[in-house]
């Protein structure tokens, strides 16, 4: 956890925001005592591609099935 003063938070927020982008939590100190904590927002996880490579499809997946359907008669 990084530490910054209230003055640094006000005057040098650009540097502190880089810490937040890196995932750091910042403890804000006021008059030498802990005053607040600033934590980065949780990044949303994407579900797309979560199971990539976990399912094996057979090579003949698109071959015709040898079943006669009633609707085809």
- The pLDDT tens digits of the residues spanning 52-68 come to 778 888 888 888 877 88
Query: Domains in the chain, start-ordered, CATH in brackets?
Result: 1-41 (3.40.1620.10)
- In this prediction, residue 62 carries a pLDDT of 87
Cβ-contact 1, 24 below 8 angstroms: yes
Helix (H, G, I), strand (E, B) or coil at 30: strand
- The C-alpha atoms of residue 22 and residue 29 are separated, in whole angstroms, by 20
Q: Give the global pTM.
A: 0.58
- The C-alpha atoms of residue 43 and residue 21 are separated, in whole angstroms, by 10
User: pLDDT tens digits for 15-52?
Assistant: 999 999 999 999 999 999 999 999 999 888 777 877 77
């Amino acid at each position: 956890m990084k530490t910054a003063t209230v003055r640094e938070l006000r005057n040098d927020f650009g540097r502190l925001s880089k810490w937040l982008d890196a995932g750091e939590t910042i403890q804000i100190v006021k008059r030498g005592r802990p005053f607040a904590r600033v934590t980065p927002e949780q990044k949303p996880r994407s579900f797309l591609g979560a199971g990539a490579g976990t399912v094996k499809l057979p090579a003949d997946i698109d071959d015709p099935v040898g079943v006669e359907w009633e609707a085809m008669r």
